[in-house]
Structure 1
């Protein structure tokens, strides 16, 4: 069996399917509560403006990584994340359309290595990451 084949899905050196979402401000309130993150840039557009960061609330970094994880789950449902190293590069704001995607870069013995990203559509890459996936245990 080819180690880059899993469940009839052939993984080759190619781009991963893109996952998209329009960012809303309301979930930021819930996530701020869950993360015990009282930073007002996630909740108050006036605080964002006062900080010189624009006029729309800024999404939490862990949520942005979560969108990448959603994309990976859709692309590789029989795998789990074994390693994730991410870098926050730009802000994601309420009202932004984001795309999570990436590229398969290698793998063996069922392991999959990917270079992944989250970007504001038609804009900057907000998160870049290197990920290793391993088959889920049954």
Structure 2
């Protein structure tokens, strides 16, 4: 099903249409526009999605594409409806963290890992198995 062209008369266009530009979410940082329109695709990160969705002063609209799937988010929909497939893509993007941890966050995460009971239990099991 291809896109159908939309025809508007000159009066309508003069009153309701404004020239717009497409930019990446990174390029749009700090920019405020009247309305924002964001294309959400599999593989996107929640940080980019957030950044894109706060640009519009009067409103923001997300358009979810599931025509370019990747293994991290969703395979091509089979019997799923378009709405279900779109929700899966959006859920995948919202769970996909793209930001790297700050040094202090990385240190805290490593300390939590190495001092956890689960880590000590695994060490104990390894030593006990080697001793037998």
> Which TM-score band applies after superposition, normalised by the shorter structure?
under 0.3
More helix by share: 2
TM (normalized to structure 1)?
Answer: 0.20
- The alignment's TM-score, normalised by the length of structure 2, stands at 0.21
